[in-house]
Structure 1
Amino acid sequence: MTADEDKHKDEGRIMKAIIYRANGGPEVLELVERDLPEPGPGEVRVRVAVSGVNPTDWKARQGANGSLAFPEYTPHHDAGGVIDAVGEGVDAGRVGQRVWLHMAAGGRPTGTAAEYTVVPVERTAPLPDEVGFDVAAALGVPALTAHRALTVAEDAPDRLSPGALEGKVVLAAGGAGAVGHAVIQLARWAGATVISTVSGPEKARLAKAAGAHHVVNYREGDPAAEIRALAPNGVDIVAEVALGANLDLDLAVLATRGTIATYANDGNKPVALDVRQNMTLNTRFQFLVLYTVGPKALAAGAEDVSAALRDGALPVGEEHGLPLHRFPLDRTAEAQRAVAEGAVGKVLVDVAP
């Protein structure tokens, strides 16, 4: 069937989608019907099964990225689904392929909170038949952020694979969060010794279930001494979610030439650096956000995450340290509110019945 015949076949078909036309709270999200989108050159259309919700989704909706660049947006970057149409220049053999999506809404108005979405083909990656769409929707932002955090150290490789981090010590701050969970799983898959800091026993249980070798409650005792006892030569890579709150602890346990890769500053505590201390340590600070990380890093991350996926290294669910919270498409506003209010685990939107 030609591309023109495909278009003719799809004429008149509609889909359900979540949109917003102005920045604001969850109330700006609307469930609407829209014409089925057509993929352009280098693009694919994906029938979405499950959409993943991340903090960046509600923050963008509230205006963190500035005023809207398009008349309306469909939110969410991540999803699992099936390619059902391809644009010019894309292998037609990919139709019917199960995929995981990442950065679907990056610089585009068409995210994954819809029955169908159109994305550049490079923002999709094959999903093994044995891996569920729940796992697919939980990858994307968390897994690629974790990959970046683990591959920016001076004395460590810039790609992940089994054994790549052998002999390294990784500290996953907030190991019960979605990114912390991915840091633990990817670092463990790559051969690192993984320590995670948490705020209480329930989150400690989740971090251990994710695969952390050691878990330290940063609210009790002397966490720096406890981490130093576990890693006498210091921590090589810190994947940090709250730099202002945790900087003193990070520097107290960091190895010489260690790296602090920070992807958030939960709590918004100001960051003040002791220049001499960091000069002596030869500290490397890496600030990261996927919007501007660049296509090379995104492609490398997607390849390595897919390899870990094929190895069965990235399971989700309560028993694997990442509880799932599910909402139907028409309750996407509640799903985003749950993330904004700090739901522990991964919030998913079930798009397909």
Structure 2
Amino acid sequence: MRAVVYSEQGSIDVLSLVEREPGEPGPGEVRVRIVRSGVNPSDWKNREGVMGPMSFPEVVPNSDGAGYVDALGEGVDGLAVGDRVWATIASAGRPTGTAQEYTVLPAYRVFPLADGLSFDLGTLGVPAVTAHSALTRSDGGPSRLAPGSLTGRTVLVQGGAGAVGNAAIQLAVWAGAQVVATVSSDTKAALATAAGAHHTVDYTRGDIVDPVRAFAPDGVDIVVEVAPAANFAADLKLVKPRGTIASYSNDGGDDLGVGVTALLWANARVEWVVIPALDPAHLRAAAEDITAAATAGAFRAGEEAGLPLHHFPLDRTAEAHAAAESGTVGKILVDVSDI
């Protein structure tokens, strides 16, 4: 099989296309024939060494993917050879991701993909599960998302044109929330609006507090945060008492720049969302809710849903990583094999 690998960390030049034998699934594992692979920021950051040294002598990158079940290990229930599936956090703690024709991963990271849903949509696992986790960390719940589960709540999505921001908007709106999203241009405002945001605020035009308060005079219940170092002071002014700030990234640096007094007076919950740390039960619950939203047509991919898709063939995975690293708006996909 064809696989993209790297044996040292660095620029896209460390990636190479090689031939490898497909792995055999062990107990509790599934082998998936990958049709589409998705690139996330963590993929290129791991390749560059931003997130720490390599744990394996050779790594196949990319943590999201969709395709068909090809083989099952002992003890796997609920899946059958030939099933359409999507997989996420494929490379977490493992040397083999989805930038290859066949990948082996734990069955709890593999989920059914209904016939009516595209393989493109199946590559959105990391953004969608991250968004789901951020929206279900609040004091008093909900712990699951469904129509009506966020009715009466207001959600602020910082960075509404990113992949996680897009998923958070779509899922929050499906669950009944009012959503305001921050963006950095009119083009990105259009994307956030296409995702379903009720209001957008351009943070490049000044402080966001007053414009967000104009939409949500009483503040917001949940903040889905991509850049806490840049936004935390504003988040504390906007979040309601007993509300939640759920941060999933550290865009903009590591220093929050706020004192203990500001944190105390906010009386809010601060959550850090890292989905490889989710236990299998929480991951399964998120996957079920995301699938329900997708089946209902409430979670979509493509420019019409506010998330442009950019396709690269497997032998151009390095270009796909470069596109992701350069901040290309939308989701970067690698077309691994024919459907």
Range class of TM-score, shorter chain: over 0.9
Once the two structures are TM-superposed, the CA of residue 93 in structure 1 deviates from its matched residue by 5.8
Gaps of 5+ in 1: 1-14
Deviates more, 1:220-229 or 1:184-193: 220-229
Partners of 2:274 and 2:116 lie apart in 1 by 30
Q: Which residue number in structure 1 is paired with residue 259 of structure 2? A: 274
Match for residue 100 of structure 1 among 75, 86, 89: 86
Q: Residues 2-53 of structure 1: CA distance to partner in whole angstroms, max 9, x if unpaired?
A: xxxxxxxxxxxxx000111111111111100011221111111111010000
Taking structure 1 as the reference length, the TM-score comes to 0.92
Q: Deviations over 1:38-69 (max 9, x none)?
A: 11111111110100000000111112343322
Q: What CA distance in whole angstroms lies between the structure 2 residues aligned with 1:318 and 1:268?
A: 30
Q: Is the 8 A contact 1:245 1:269 kept in 2?
A: no
Deviations 1:141-186 (CA, angstroms, capped at 9, x unpaired): 1011101111111133111111111100000111000000000011
Pick from 197, 202, 225 the counterpart of residue 210 of structure 2.
225
Alignment of 1:187-202 (within 5 A): 187-202=172-187
Aligned to 1:342: 327
Deviations 1:278-317 (A, max 9, x none): 2122121111212223333322212221221221221111
- Output aligned runs, 1:24-39, within 5 Å: 24-39=10-25
Superposition CA RMSD, Å: 1.4
Q: Which one-letter code corresponds to 1:63 in the other structure?
A: G
Q: Percent identity?
A: 55
| Residue 152 (1) aligns with residue 152 (2) | no
Letter in 2 for 1:328: P
Residue in 1 aligned with 2:167? Answer: 182
How many pairs were matched up? 338
Tell me, in whole angstroms, the C-alpha distance in 2 between the residues paired with 1:223 and 1:76.
34
Once the two structures are superposed, the pairs formed by residues 22-101 of structure 1 within 5 Å of their partners are 22-91=8-77, 94-101=80-87
The CA deviation at 1:91 is 4.1
Q: 1:274 to 1:65 in 2, by over 3 A?
A: closer
Aligned to 2:161, what secondary structure does the other structure show? coil
User: By how many angstroms is 1:246 displaced?
Assistant: 1.1
Larger mean Cα displacement after TM superposition, 15-24 or 84-93: 84-93
Give the distance between the partners of 2:204 and 2:254, measured in 1 at CA.
17
Aligned residue in 1 for 2:227: 242
CA distance in 2, matches of 1:155, 1:93: 34
**Contact 2:233–2:257 under 8 Å retained in 1:** no
Instruction: Name the larger-Rg structure.
Output: 1
**Are the aligned partners of 1:208 and 1:214 in contact in 2 as well (CA < 8 Å)?**
yes
Amino acid at match of 1:267: G
Local SS of the residue matching 1:35:
coil
Change (3 A) 1:62 1:222: closer
Q: Does 1:307 align with 2:292?
A: yes
Are residue 19 (structure 1) and residue 11 (structure 2) matched?
no
**How many angstroms apart in 1 are the aligned matches of 2:239 and 2:98?**
39
Q: Does the 8 Å CA contact 1:25/1:61 hold for their aligned counterparts?
A: yes
Q: Is the 8 A contact 2:237 2:266 kept in 1?
A: no
TM-score, length basis structure 2 = 0.96
Q: 1:132 Cα shift?
A: 0.6
Comparing 90-99 and 206-215, the one that deviates more: 90-99
**1:272: how far off?**
1.9
Contact 1:86 1:92 in 2 (8 A): no
Deviation at 1:104, TM superposition (A): 0.6
Deviations 1:245-265 (A, max 9, x none): 112221222111111111112
Mapped to 1, the partners of 2:79 and 2:55 lie a distance apart of 34
Shift of 1:76: 0.8
2:194 aligned with 1:212, yes or no? Answer: no
Contact 1:156 1:165 in 2 (8 A): no
Indicate conservation of the 8 Å contact 2:40/2:126, yes or no. yes
What is the distance in 2 between the residues matched to 1:143 and 1:348? 15
Paired amino acid for 2:244: T
Q: Match of 1:72, as an amino acid?
A: E
Q: Residue 346 of structure 1 aligns to which amino acid in structure 2?
A: K
Q: CA deviation at 1:95?
A: 0.8
Please give the alpha-carbon distance, in whole angstroms, between the structure 2 residues aligned to 1:240 and 1:90. 36
The superposition leaves residues 55-108 of structure 1 with CA deviations (integer Å, 9 ceiling, x where unpaired) of: 000111112343322221111110110101111122496111101101111111
1:254 paired residue among 239, 257, 262: 239
Question: What SS does structure 1 have at the residue aligned with 2:4?
Answer: strand
Q: 1:131 aligns with which of 110, 117, 123?
A: 117
| Structure 1 position 190, deviation (Å) | 0.8
Closer, same or farther: CA 93–69 of 1 in aligned 2, 3 Å: closer
Q: Secondary structure of 1:149's match?
A: helix
AA partner of residue 35 (structure 2): A
